[in-house]
Amino acid sequence: MATETPTYLQKLKGIPKANFLFGPSPIQFLPRLSKELSPNGDVKVYAKRDDCNSGLAYGGNKVRKLEFLVADALAQGCDTLVSVGGVQSNHTRAVTAVATASGLKAVTVQEKWVPIDPPLYDKVGNILLSRLMGGDVRLNQEGFHIGHKEATKQAVEDVKARGGKPYYVPAGASDHVLGGLGFTNFVVELAEQEKLLGVYFDTLVVCSVTGSSHAGLITGAAAEGKGRKVIGIDASGKPEATKAQVARIARNTAKLLDPKLEIPDEAIVLDERFHEGIYGIPGPSTIEAMKTAARTDALITDPVYEGKSMAGMMQLIKEGSIKPGSNVLYVHLGGQPALNAYSSYFEEDTK
């Protein structure tokens, strides 16, 4: 007997999206990291590799989210995506990539979100890729916050002034009516993969800054109703603002998909212990976590996002907050192209 498709799935499947992904991103068991963190084998650690999700400029979590926004931009007849991020923003690299692949232009404002100037910081990594793809890259000195920025408003007006039709993409593709859909869909995708693997992931660990990856996972987990726990690891250094944005995006996404779907306060979990006090700068726990992942299962993480969420997951397992018997899914959001800009943090490291 056929079962009725849940309301949220009906709505999600009916929202137009572009096709930028290879398909479901792969799930990888991490045997050596699991043993390192749980010597008795009580906790098994897997990674869902959204860093390997697309052929567009090294992929990453933003590409998944931008599938929905680009479809909306094309439906509106826009010709230019306008967005903002830091100098080494994964997001602006992804915006430029999806614009290029869709026959659109990209204007990206690259701000001084990280108060450091290591060698070639504004020449290599993500910003190099954006320039290589022909993006209109604009550097300025405005600092970090997760809200909407004045410089992007000006960039939007510049596009209009030259006769173009801009489509504004907020930082991280997050604070947008469609921003949470990509990672709600991630949970749908994950549930299908679990059937094939014969594994249920009771705990998802994800980095959280602008918040829509985290929020989309919360919405997806609430909608499926299996009791799956989503733990966000703050990397913004401004956890109060991040948590508020995660809650808002999750609840707005839930209402978009099903007016009856509620997101309880206890579903919004943000661990504040691993941001190292500031966005974009790795501290000792970040670097140690990056080394551990790299030197066990050759899993490469970055110093801005994934190194911090890896540090969080490691500690949660070691301290027992993630219980024995758990199957943990580390949601790998990408970000490795920024590593070149942080080479000075790893010079002559033989330890």
Residues acting as catalytic residues: 89
Q: What is the DSSP pairing of strand 327-332 with strand 166-169?
A: unpaired
Query: Which three-class secondary structure state does DSSP give residue 140?
Result: coil
Q: Token pair for residue 209?
A: 């800054």
Q: Which residues contact 88 (CB under 8 A, 6 or more apart)?
A: 114, 121, 125, 126, 127, 280, 304, 338, 341
Residue 231 DSSP one-character state: E
Query: Which three-class secondary structure state does DSSP give residue 205?
Result: strand
* Residue of 179, 180, 202 lying closest to 190 (CA atoms): 202
**Cα 196 to Cα 36: distance, rounded to the nearest angstrom:** 27
For residue 145, the one-letter residue type is H
Please, where are the H alpha helices in the chain? Answer: 7-14, 31-37, 61-75, 90-101, 125-132, 150-161, 181-197, 212-224, 239-257, 284-297, 306-318
Q: Which residues contact 309 (CB under 8 A, 6 or more apart)?
A: 205, 206, 207, 233, 235, 274, 301, 330, 331, 333
